[in-house]
Amino acid sequence: MKRFHQTQEITFRQCDPAGIVFYPRYFEMMNDAIERFFRDIVGWPYRQMHGTDRRGVPAVSANMEFMMPARLGDWLDWQLSVDRLGRSSATFRLEAYLDETAVVSGCKTIVHTDLDRMKSLPWTAEVRSVLSDYCHAEGGE
């Protein structure tokens, strides 16, 4: 199983009056990480997905545990893998580390959707194959 790594610095706009990351900003980072995964690894950038192809990947659930506060200027190592791959859904696992210490860990489940009819669609073979490479285990829906 592969993992997709990205490093990102905590910026001023992500921090709250207590000087730590405002937690809804972590869900923005989660979104960014999956968006980059689709662009760089799956080879299906959101621009083409949403524009030309009229497909989307809306969230059906998202969760996070905040194990340690992260601060302005911390460099987080984000690791993305796929926890579960369904016929038209996928559950991504996102973990962020500061040095070797886990800062946040969470999951987001998305559904491959036809934006014009707002109905779920099976993954194409090409997308499915890439998601499988990053998947711990596979299963039906």
Binding residues vs its own copies (CB under 8 A): 11-13, 15-20, 22-25, 27-28, 30-32, 35, 45-48, 50-51, 56, 58-66, 69, 71-73, 115, 118
SS3 134: coil
SS3 40: helix
Residue 39 or 132 having the CB closest to its own copies: 39
Residue 55 or 128 having the CB closest to its own copies: 55
Least separation in angstroms between CB 64 and its own copies: 6
What's the token pair of residue 38?
């689709």
DSSP state of 123: P
Least separation in angstroms between CB 74 and its own copies: 8
What's the token pair of residue 27?
């869900």
Residue 43 or 58 having the CB closest to its own copies: 58
Strand order from edge to edge, sheet including 113-114:
55-56, 113-114, 119-120
Least separation in angstroms between CB 137 and its own copies: 21
Least separation in angstroms between CB 115 and its own copies: 6
> Quick one: 21 exposed, middle or buried, by C-beta within 10 A (0-12, 13-18, 19+)?
buried
In angstroms, what is the C-alpha Rg of the chain? 16
Residue 63 or 129 having the CB closest to its own copies: 63
What's the token pair of residue 14?
């992500």
Residue 65 or 126 having the CB closest to its own copies: 65
Least separation in angstroms between CB 119 and its own copies: 13
